[in-house]
Structure 1
Amino acid sequence: MSKRRMFGRDPEVHEHDLGLSHDMKTMSRRGALALFGAAGATAALAACGSPSSTSTTASSSATAGAGTATSTADAVGECVAAAPGETAGPYPGDGSNGPNVLVESGIVRKDITSSFGTSTGTAEGVPVTITMALQDLTKNCDPGAGMAVYLWHCDRDGEYSLYGKAITDQNYLRGVQVAGADGTVSFTSIFPAAYSGRWPHIHFEVYDSLEVAIAGENARLTSQIALPQEACDTVFAGAEGYEKSVTNMTRTTLSSDNVFGDGWDAELATATGSVSSGYDIAITIGVAAKSENAQAAPPAGGGGPGGAGGPGGEPPAMP
């Protein structure tokens, strides 16, 4: 399904809020993703183990998850479960809800802390390096060489460039990288905030090639990365500018989050480092066929093209 249709419903309301009938359909899609990842693993590595079960607390999840990787070498060495398709949210900047930064010259870059083009702002915060190892589950878990990743996230105030009231003229914390032969991409950025109603997270889209990515359409996978609680608590309590995140973290858990609440094993990253030296965030992403990652259709009567939150309409208020 085209991601443009996702904005027909509340962009941050997840599928499990839509009733029993929808849940049964969604369960089938999620089950297919897990089976697809397992099948790819069996074909590639006879000894490949099954993904870990969802942890019952955020702190225990910080160091164990089917999608996590402690190093790039480890990340591409074992098959992982397919990352589930998730909402792009109301601030994608990919043309599906307002501005399209993907077609702008300069979007292909590793360091996304500063704006590019005619914008000159820089996002302040604890520095991070985000490393993603891509596995192509349609090719026996081979590294996703040549795939392109568009990554974006909020700043330390919980605002998104291009959309936040004070930063509509900025495009920082957004960028595209192309995976090398080992299937990895890396971004230099800052630690994102915890804003009201959401667990700290990073958005991303995976495209089959750079050419497809900079055309601004046909993402193979749209998903999100959850950040581990220990690192979040340390950053928010010890770094300047994250004061609101301390309060917001007390009101949200991974289990209650409307994106990660139905399971986060394939989406939880690892984070090592400190407030003073910065953090290394790492995760392995299993990329299934595009048809396996499709979002469910939006409910009738909500938004749509030209409506609130839909393509061509006004972006919804900050969740």
Structure 2
Amino acid sequence: MHRDHDDEVHEHDRGLSYDLPVLARRRMIRLLAGAGLVPLVGCTSEDGTTSASGSSPSSASSSSAADSSGAECATIPDETAGPFPGDGSNGVNVLKESGVVRSDITKSFGDSAGGTADGVPLTVTLTVVDAASGCGTPKKGAAVYLWHCDREGGYSLYSEGVTDENYLRGVQEADDRGRVTFKSIFPGCYEGRWPHIHFEVYGSLADATAATSLTNTSQLAFPKDVCDTVYASDGYSRSVSNLGRLSLETDGIFRDGYDQQMAAIKGSVADGYTATLTVPV
């Protein structure tokens, strides 16, 4: 049964009570690190820059990626999948449908309505690496299921008006470099949540399409300056006011830290954007 979008956000995608065990564990890790009990490894982006703890969300080029020193590095933070996963954990399961393994997720597939998600073009590349090896070893053959809201803030399969669509959802198998790439659109900002993308990591493509043996669930965040630029373009007017009432520091998911989840962004509204993030698992 379809429920109100805002109600779902408050219940699942914003509430600390839903994720209290995860958040408590992450806070404990940082407390131990401050006491010198947990080794921390810096993460270097694909262009060679290094992210620093507490860095500005506007510094897109200094966000996420990997260190190949061989020392152990932190795994990607665990987050809620939210109320609209489409993985069978909350109703519909798109992972078992033929056609879900694809790179271009802008269009619906199969027997759905066949709609296309409009918006500023966005190419998302996630690099899945082995945390135990110091983020230096790509996880070839791992699989990533990625999904996010559309320009209006709605989720296909769940939100009113798009329950017959399954766009902005797809699965990819990691290549020899541990990379998966999705062609999509820049997501809107809906009430109560900072702009983000959900993703799940599976050990293999077979696991992903069977919706079994899930290893990691997390979310990717966007820097504010890029969001401001995108939301000033046509079709994103609703996102402007929603974003104006939010901050990363008060977001129910990212408020306890987002350095490992902040994507490195390049591009423009006219030419489209690329978002990259290294995902240690």
Specify the TM-score bucket, using the shorter chain as the normaliser: 0.7 to 0.9
Distance 2:87 2:61 in 1: 32
Say if 2:255 is the partner of 1:261: yes
Q: Deviation string for 1:35-69 (max 9, x for gaps)?
A: 99957x69xxxxxx9962123x4324x3333xx25
Q: State the match for 2:215 in structure 1.
A: 220
Q: How many pairs were matched up?
A: 262
Q: State the match for 2:225 in structure 1.
A: 230
Say if 2:279 is the partner of 1:285: yes
Change (3 A) 1:91 1:213: same
Long gaps (5+) in structure 1:
1-6, 43-48, 70-74, 288-319
**Shift of the alpha carbon at 1:218?**
2.5
Matches within 5 A, 1:1-319: 10-15=11-16, 25=25, 27-28=27-28, 38=39, 52-55=52-55, 57-60=56-59, 62-65=60-63, 68-69=64-65, 81-119=74-112, 120-141=114-135, 142-237=137-232, 239-287=233-281
**Shift of the alpha carbon at 1:77?**
5.2
**Partner SS state of residue 98, structure 1:** coil
Aligned partners of 1:76 and 1:134 also within 8 Å: no
Q: Deviation string for 1:186-222 (max 9, x for gaps)?
A: 0000000011111100000000001111111321000
Alignment root-mean-square deviation, CA: 3.1
Distance 1:98 1:89 in 2: 12
Distance 1:54 1:220 in 2: 27
**Shift of the alpha carbon at 1:162?**
0.1
Q: Deviation string for 1:140-183 (max 9, x for gaps)?
A: 43111110000000000000000011000000000000001101
Q: Which amino acid is 1:275 matched to? A: V
**Shift of the alpha carbon at 1:136?**
1.1
Which structure is richer in relative contact order (CA contacts within 8 A, separation 6 or more)?
1
Change (3 A) 1:227 1:25: closer
Q: Which amino acid is 1:284 matched to? A: T
Change (3 A) 1:236 1:22: closer
**Shift of the alpha carbon at 1:12?**
1.5
Change (3 A) 1:118 1:131: same
Change (3 A) 1:33 1:283: farther
Distance 1:246 1:78 in 2: 41
TM-score (norm 1): 0.74
Long gaps (5+) in structure 2:
1-7, 43-48
**Partner SS state of residue 59, structure 1:** coil
TM-score (norm 2): 0.84
